[in-house]
Structure 1
Amino acid sequence: MEYASAGGARGHDDHVRHHHEIGPLDEPERASGGYKRYGVSHLVRLLRIRRLTDLGVALADVPSVESGDEKARQILRDLDAGLAADIERRQRMRRDPAAVMENRAALDMSADFGTLTDDLPEAQRSLLLAYSSILTPEAMAALREQLSEPRGDLDAEFAVLDEDAADEVRQRLAERMAPDVRRQQRDHLGLADLGSSLRRETVVAESVVVHALVEFHHCAHLDVLRRVYAILYEGETTESGSNYARE
């Protein structure tokens, strides 16, 4: 049984011609009139090739995979690892829409944060989202652990601080916040030095942090943060506010 082709089915011929050019499929002899004579063996061969390419094997790698040697096994191991990573990525993608359906606040953060950001003020959620663009996954996991801890009155007091708060009010708040910030840095070492927790260039990351702080806090907030920093690092010269991942 033979199948003849002289280019009548353009798309099919182009596809088969590509198989000839790459190498997996031998080109048949031509009959009179220029027709190629395809037999059942060619059909079987084409189906075997399609089986491998459907699994994700590159057409050029088909002969190597069929050889069954160590190179073939390595190609299949790499393919399996790639598929596993793709499945994991797609599973994460599925978790996020489900989280958004259950909790609208999850529009900001990945499903890994669950409901941890639900009761955060809008400014803090915005800051957290901005930080996610510059921090490593490990640093974001540390932030997640930090958010899972019970929140004290200081967080709420800082959030509702009046923009016209008196100097003594700001100073008292800073003095009460400083020990809490020191404890957070001790308990979450990855957040004490953001320079080791960045996935972007330092200059870019510092720009994001500074602009985010200014964008989402008013002057009284920034003044309190400067005072906290002065209490913790008095005598050191650095960019104000660069170590405050939580605020």
Structure 2
Amino acid sequence: MTQGITIGQAAAFAGVTAKTIRHYHLHGLIEEPRRDSSGYRRYGSADLLRLVQVRTLAGAGIPLAEIRTILDADPDRFAAALVDVERRLTERIDDLVARRELLHQLADGDRVLLPEHACALLEKLPALGFTTEDVTTARDALVLVRALAPETLDGYVAQIEHGLEDPHYVSLMKLNMRAGDLDPDDPRVEEIAAAIADHFIADPSLLPSLSGLQAREDGALRRELLSHHAEDQKPAWARMTALIEAKLRAAGIDVP
């Protein structure tokens, strides 16, 4: 009569590791076999069969806490348990597929955060001389507009697209981006603010609008968050915004 095989041999035959077998012992999935005179466990064919069964169910995604109940069940309960496991696996598969699709969208950049027409606007900016940082700033602003004032996004994007058709507007927006890196008291901040305000006064249609927010109970707060985005990181922008708004109001242009 065979003396059985060692844990290492059992692991090799079943396609697992000795550590995994010990883990199965710990969870009560496989009874610890007898030991030989040298103190080594010896696994027989029944032990090996049980090990293969446990490994197969575990590999199918069945939690270890459920495997013992399934293996010890009668045929009807065993079949019903497998149906339930299949249902849960299907749900997991659907969830993983959805996550994979989201990853694909994330890999595609801004399209997970913004609609196609807003992404198309961002894609135009590098060819107009805007830097990668400029595009990121613009994207973040559009994401915030979509989150805080979704009803205004289409009109907001259309206004910016209209402005980008004007080379002078484009040059002013580049200066505006660069001004963020200046000291707030730098005289260039006031010069750029004046030039931008004068351009908006000459053509108010270029002034980006967030119309529609006034219908919201918290519209003023949302507008405040949008109008002063990133000014904590770029203090010069805060001064520029104040200067531009002051000059527009002085010219009789309503600035909420």
| TM-score normalised by the chain length of structure 1 | 0.55
Task: Please state how far the C-alpha of 1:20 moved relative to its aligned partner.
Answer: 0.3
Q: Could you say which residue in structure 1 is the equivalent of 2:211?
A: 182
Q: Could you say which residue in structure 2 is the equivalent of 1:44?
A: 49
User: Matches of 2:46 and 2:149 in 1, distance apart?
Assistant: 56
Name the aligned partner's letter for residue 91 of structure 1: E
What are structure 2's unaligned runs of at least 5 residues? 176-191
Q: Could you say which residue in structure 2 is the equivalent of 1:81?
A: 91
Name the aligned partner's letter for residue 231 of structure 1: D
Q: Could you say which residue in structure 2 is the equivalent of 1:154?
A: 163
User: Matches of 2:151 and 2:46 in 1, distance apart?
Assistant: 61
Task: Please state how far the C-alpha of 1:135 moved relative to its aligned partner.
Answer: 5.9
1:159-194 CA-to-partner distances (Å, cap 9, x unmatched) read: 4326263486156169545684215x489x8x9577
Alpha-carbon distance change, 221 to 72 in structure 1, aligned in 2, over 3 angstroms = farther
Residue identity over aligned pairs, in percent, reads 17
The total of aligned residue pairs comes to 210
Q: Could you say which residue in structure 2 is the equivalent of 1:231?
A: 254
Alpha-carbon distance change, 2 to 58 in structure 1, aligned in 2, over 3 angstroms = farther
Task: Please state how far the C-alpha of 1:12 moved relative to its aligned partner.
Answer: 3.4
Name the aligned partner's letter for residue 52 of structure 1: L
Q: Is 1:211 matched with 2:220?
A: no
Task: Please state how far the C-alpha of 1:23 moved relative to its aligned partner.
Answer: 1.6
User: Matches of 1:159 and 1:222 in 2, distance apart?
Assistant: 21
Task: Please state how far the C-alpha of 1:110 moved relative to its aligned partner.
Answer: 4.7
Q: Does the CA-based 8 Å contact 2:7-2:42 persist in structure 1?
A: no
Which protein is bigger by CA-based radius of gyration? 2
User: Matches of 2:32 and 2:242 in 1, distance apart?
Assistant: 74
Q: Could you say which residue in structure 1 is the equivalent of 2:147?
A: 139
Name the aligned partner's letter for residue 146 of structure 1: D
Alpha-carbon distance change, 82 to 225 in structure 1, aligned in 2, over 3 angstroms = farther
Corresponding residue to 2:198 among 149, 156, 169:
169
What are structure 1's unaligned runs of at least 5 residues? 100-105, 196-201, 234-247
Name the aligned partner's letter for residue 46 of structure 2: S
Please, what is the CA RMSD of the aligned residues? 5.2
| TM-score normalised by the chain length of structure 2 | 0.53
Q: Which one has more relative contact order, counting CA pairs under 8 Å at least 6 apart?
A: 1
Q: Does the CA-based 8 Å contact 1:31-1:37 persist in structure 2?
A: yes
